Amino acid sequence: MRIQHTSPHRYSLKNVRLETEFIRENDEIVGTQTDLFTIDIAGTTIDRIRPNNPTADAIDAKSCLLLPSFRDMHAHLDKTLFGLPWQAITKSKRTVRDMIAMEQQLIPELLKTSTERAEKLIRFLQSYGTGFSRSHFNIEPTSGLTSLEHLLTALENIGGSFGAELVAFPQHGIYYTDTAPLLAEAAKLPAVNFVGGLDPFSIDGSIEKPLDFIIQLALENNKGIDIHLHETGESGIRTMQYLVDRVLENPELQGRTFVSHAFVLAHLTPVETQEIAERLAAAQIGIASSVPLRGHIMPIPTLLKYGVDVLIGNDNIQDHWGTFGSGNMLQKMQLIAELYGSGNEYDLSRTLALATGGLIPLDSEGTQQWPKAGAAADMILVDASCSAEAVSRISPIRSLIYQGRLVF
């Protein structure tokens, strides 16, 4: 199940800025038209959108722009140094197996305060407008189920202001360490939404055996799949092709299977990239990761062109794996726009969809499609004139609303 809560709230927001259409000159989009509105919230949804009444008895949005709240779709909320003194990554112990050995030493101490630090990290993400996350949690002999238990406690302590779906992640391999029984146990739990995996060939010595086990658990327990794949070269592409084949054989996994990182995609020829993008789309397998990817420039435009679901997250936020995770999804969107040359009004506004689960205020023709009455009240107020400016300037977040609840 997803960790989320209902809301009994009823209130109104006035002086809310909404995008209404594109501004065009000589058939080119040069800006975004906005206007002010009053919005009524009832429970977890938007009840009404009305012409603005600046004298209404309502919370004053102060002309801030309303946008869908952000969804961080690749995080490790259970495993962070957040809340501890600053520490950059070290130059040594940088292979995945070396990092496994490091974790086996670190985790017993980190688990002592992991609930408190997970709560601090969640509140940090909220401050940047994120209301929902897909979080991997360690499942391996060193942690057992304790990492999951602490994360669930942290989510409950947040008190209904943040949503999450959870991935049982065998960070130390399925067979490299004796994790298979623990992963099978975790897959049975209602709180777990996805079965994870890690570099099957380089860590467990086989592509087929770990993937077949993951697929079996997913099918038996009605779970999705989200595997970490850092491998490049032949083993990386063979892993992706094998996963595509198996998902095509099991249609119930289509739309519920993801490859996190998939670094190999950054090292293919254009023809090879198109071929694998078409196969991923046919199997409805998504790609979930962060940006940038340690020097790997991922073919995000090609993946999107061929219909692959692309999810973005922060991944490492002040942990022993990475130094640069900011927690700010708008910063990620600006990086994507800059990396792929999306500097005009229209392209900047489209980039926002990668942070919101596909929701953006205007459709491709400039017709207002969000917000609408009856839609989930998962929103942010941003100090920006339009979504393109918000992405380009990483505009400040002034308020987060999750499931109708005014978080701040």
Question: DSSP 3-state assignment of 147?
Answer: helix
The CATH number given to 71-339 is: 3.20.20.140
Which of 102, 66, 134 shows the shortest CA–CA distance to 359? 66
The tokens for 140 are: 């391996």
Strand partners, 21: 33
Question: Was domain 10-70+359-406 assigned CATH 1.10.10.10?
Answer: no
The residue with greater pLDDT, 406 or 290, is 406
| Alpha-carbon gap, residue 304 to 281, rounded angstroms | 9
| pLDDT tier at 187, thresholds 50, 70, 90 | very high
Mean pLDDT for 378-398 is 98
Q: How far apart are CA 81 and CA 85, in angstroms?
A: 8
Q: How confident is the model at residue 104 (pLDDT cuts 50, 70, 90)?
A: confident
- Domain residue ranges in the chain: 10-70+359-406, 71-339
Query: How much is the average pLDDT of 63-90?
Result: 89
Using left for φ > 0, alpha for ψ between -120 and 50, and beta otherwise, residue 172 falls in alpha
Percent above pLDDT 70 for the chain: 96
> Would you place residue 92 in the very low, low, confident or very high pLDDT band (cuts 50, 70, 90)?
low
Q: How many helices (H) and strands (E) does the chain have?
A: 13, 16
Instruction: State mean pLDDT over 207-230.
Output: 98
Interval 196-210 mean pLDDT: 97
> What's at 106, amino acid-wise?
L
Q: What are the structure tokens assigned to 51, written together?
A: 């012409």
CB-based contact 22:32 (threshold 8 Å): yes
Q: Average per-residue pLDDT in the chain?
A: 93
